[in-house]
Amino acid sequence: MNPEQLLQHFERISEAPDAIARLRRFILDLAVRGKLVEQDPNDEPASELLRQIQSEKSRLILERSIKTQQALPPINAEVMPHTIPEGWIWVYLNDVTDLVYGKLLPTTDLLPSGYDVFGANGVIGKYSEFLYKDEMLLISCRGAYSGTPNISPPNCYVTNNSIVCQFFAPNKCNIRYFYSVLTVSNKEKIVSGTAQPQVTVANAIRLPIPLPPLAEQHRIVAKVDELMALCDQLQAAQTEREQHRDRLVAASLHCLNPAVAGTEANTPDTQRESARFLFNHLPRLTTRPEHIKQLRQTILNLAVRGKLVPQDPNDEPAAKLSKRIEKEINDHQVNRSYRKAKPLPPVKSDEKPFILPFNWEWARLRSLAFVLGDGIHGTPIYTDGTNYFFINGNNLADGKIVIKSNTKTVSFEEMQKHKKPMSTNTVLVSINGTLGNVAFYNNEEVVLGKSACYFNLSSSINKYYIKLLIESPYFLEYALLGATGTTIKNLSLKQ
């Protein structure tokens, strides 16, 4: 592979998630399989290189500079992760390195200046002395970074959160080639534990390594450096392109909405042109989840402002609809189906955040519902193993009541005791913590907690429209403005 080929293929994959990171790994994967550079038949074969390394290893053992290494079984086809070119051989990691843990250094002993101290995945501070004069190949051995390779800086202290790979013959091994191998190796072979992952020396020594001739190691590293530098350029170009795309998306969506709450800065012609541009280029302008979220919020914003569909002059005006709803609610109150609510003041001009279409009007949510309330302000008596659930705002999602594995249950009697007067025209909304989660009641046998409110809508109101309204930026801005609390937001029923 050369830079020209890389550029050619990059144009085809650059829109994919994590394109650059995947490209970098692809380059390293080719490198350790012997497919990045050509093999030279004049290179000294890896078998001879291994013989020289083993000779140096024997000398170090004889001098007692290192301990006698554990004998491992020969590498067979089942252990080999992939095929390698002729002239290469498979070796275990401890065939070429002596693996030792770094040295314990309490964090309280770190200093503001001195030599670098390398921890699990980077320099964590300074110390008055160093352990290794040269760069060392490391394997993170504790915590979330377990199995991650690193190269320490010169004159460095390495803590016991990393395993140090000390080459028997440093002049016979290119440290950056082995770093590449460890980067793409299957970490599952050496990492153990789930709650607290770790890598032990006993596991790491068994890692199979493809060993090419030394000259080819150098050629591989040079080619990897060349292509990684190109990836850096591509990443910079991609970042610039994404920033340009973000600005273009923001500008297009901005033209579909009023620039400032309470104004109508964008004309219908401007909005139509912006919408036409946005939808004509939708695949190119919505490449990341945040773009989809922005578009969804814009659509909801247009919907609740009466700008998503044209108004029909033959529709019943909202003023007449309000009178029908008022009569329906009064009739139910006369029949004592619901308690009579206190009359609400009309919506004042300074409460209206934007201009409505000619046949719309502002109304308070309470005036559209027979009842508005919240769940119990306490904890019910739990009973395991029933199908009667105690739910809160975090059980509401995308129009449904979601029962989770940790949702508590109550007895039938407890459910009956705390049951609210809900119907299939009831809308549930989270009002504590995460504001604005919405669900429709569908005759589930549940007890409602205080972090969710419920309201039974008039039969003349489309509950799906109310859901869109609550999910729109308008409601979220309104809710946050009226909510109390800093860390955990709470919206009172009076709001």
What are the backbone angles phi and psi of residue 407, rounded to the nearest 5°?
-70, 125
Mean pLDDT over 452-471 rounds to 91
Residue 97 predicted with pLDDT over 80: yes
At 106-124, the pLDDT tens digits run 999 999 999 999 999 999 9
Residue 439 predicted with pLDDT over 80: yes
At 230-240, the pLDDT tens digits run 888 888 887 88
pLDDT value at residue 132: 97
pLDDT value at residue 59: 93
Residue 193 predicted with pLDDT over 80: yes
Residue 126 predicted with pLDDT over 50: yes
How many CB atoms sit inside 10 A of residue 181's CB?
21
Any idea which of 222-226, 330-334, 437-441, 465-469 has the lowest mean pLDDT? 330-334
What's the pLDDT band for 13 if we cut at 50, 70, 90? Answer: low
The rounded radius of gyration (Å) of the Cα atoms in the chain is 33
Residue in 332, 108, 92, 259 with CA at minimum distance from that of residue 190:
92
* Gap between the Cα atoms of 305 and 86, Å rounded: 70
In the block, tokens 């200093």 appear at 111
Q: What percent of the chain has pLDDT over 70?
A: 87
Please say whether the beta carbons of 45 and 216 come within 8 A: no
Residue 9 predicted with pLDDT over 70: no
Any idea which of 116-130, 277-291, 380-394, 426-440 has the lowest mean pLDDT? 277-291
Distances (CA, A) of 160 to 97, 135, 308: 17, 17, 62
pLDDT value at residue 53: 95
At 399-420, the pLDDT tens digits run 999 999 999 999 999 999 999 9
At 237-267, the pLDDT tens digits run 878 877 777 777 676 666 666 544 444 455 6
pLDDT value at residue 87: 94
In the block, tokens 């994919």 appear at 16
At 148-179, the pLDDT tens digits run 999 999 999 999 999 999 999 999 999 999 99
Helix 214-254 with 3-13: angle, nearest 10 deg: 40
